[in-house]
Amino acid sequence: MVFGFMTACFAAFAQADYAFKVLASKGANEYKSGDSWQPIKTGISLKKGDELRVPENAYLGLVSSTGKPVHPS
């Protein structure tokens, strides 16, 4: 029982490593983490402070670390 509780606590803290995860990306979406812009790929984690570029007619579907979906426009 103690092991299960410790595992649950660890999982809760591990979720705070990122602000968002990319669920879907269509178009030439990019993110800036540090000094360089990089293409966004499905499944990557975005941290607090990362910048996003979502051009016209592109789509980006994100899920926050709390599990809520986000669709930036």
> Is 11 a domain residue?
no
> Is 30 a domain residue?
yes
6-30: b (≥16 Cβ within 10 Å) or e = eeeeeeeeeeeebbbbbeebeeebb
> Is 10 a domain residue?
no
pLDDT in tens, 43-61: 999 999 999 999 999 999 9
Q: Work out the percent of the chain whose per-residue pLDDT is above 90.
A: 58
Instruction: Please give the tally of structural domains in the chain.
Output: 1
pLDDT in tens, 14-24: 555 889 999 99
pTM, two decimal places: 0.70
Name the strands in the sheet holding 51-53, side by side, starting at the edge strand that comes first in the sequence.
36-39, 30-33, 51-53
Q: Which domain holds residue 64?
A: 18-70
User: Residue 30 above 70 pLDDT?
Assistant: yes
